[in-house]
Amino acid sequence: MKNRNIDLKRILSLRAICPSRFKIGTSSLEGDKGGGIIKYIVLFLITIVSVTPLSAQTQHKFLKKADSAYERGTYSTAEENYRKANEKSQNTNATYNLGNAIFKQDRLEEAVEKYQSAAEMTNDPQLKSDAFHNLGNAHYGLEQFDKSVEAYKNALRVDSKDLETKKNLAMAQRQLRVQQQQQQQQQDQEKKENEDQENKEDQEQQQQEQQENEEEKKDEEQEKEQQQEQEQEGKEEEQKEQPQPKDLSKQEAEKLLKIIEQEEQKVQEKLRRKQSQPNKSDKDW
């Protein structure tokens, strides 16, 4: 996940009800809880024969520079020296304060890692509670309200009387409910849009099928009309091929009429002859 550019004032205003506890110091850590400074006395049980080891002196030097830079508000310098101090050996307080320095530079995702490490490393109940508290703040700034709620709950499991954490927990829970409602509304909206899109596609498909059916029907009608026209043309061609009666001239008509009259006369003559002959079947008594 990429780092988000977050307005520090806006984040601090969200935390104004219960500010994060930023502590600095080598043997003690600075905190702004309630606007005051809380000193943590870290007891180191070290068996020293003569002098402090050089590595411990070097780490102490980096922690002192880091604390001073943090107090001046030069958080990048503080971050650099806290990192150098941890290179010598892992220091829970340095890891926690490194998270604070990174948080102040609006790199909340990196701060989450440091607070988580500090909470897991330390056996000090107060530091563990503070680490979880600030972890909740970092998640809150990232709008990861579900993780923010869980971090605040972890802080309260260590210190159940912490009113500031309780207030932040209540605020994170409200934001979580709002976020869940928004997500549900978005899911409902996306579902509705998907359904509308599916209905639109179905409607378009039905319209396309209807159009295709109409075009197919139109093509069939045109094909039928063409077939009828072809049949009609075929009949006309057949009629043209058949011999047509030739028109007779006047002379030919008169001659044909005369022939018909002659044939008629011949028929009449035969009938008269037949009628004039006696019937052979009659007996002569």
Domain locations in the chain as residue ranges: 8-183
* pLDDT band per the 50, 70, 90 thresholds, residue 13: very low
Identify whether the C-beta of residue 32 lies closer than 8 Å to the C-beta of residue 19. Answer: yes
Q: What tens digit of pLDDT does each residue of 47-97 get?
A: 333 444 556 788 889 999 999 999 999 999 999 999 999 987 888 999 999
Q: Check residue 222 and give its pLDDT.
A: 87
Is the per-residue pLDDT at 133 higher than 60? yes
Whole-angstrom Cα distance, residue 176 to residue 168?
12
Write out the two tokens for 183: 């997500």
Q: What tens digit of pLDDT does each residue of 266-280 get?
A: 888 888 887 777 665
How far is the CA of 198 from the CAs of 170, 202, 210, 233, in angstroms? 42, 6, 18, 52
Judge residue 144's burial from the number of C-beta atoms within 10 Å of its C-beta, 0-12 exposed, 13-18 middle, 19 or more buried: buried
What class does CATH assign to 8-183? mainly alpha
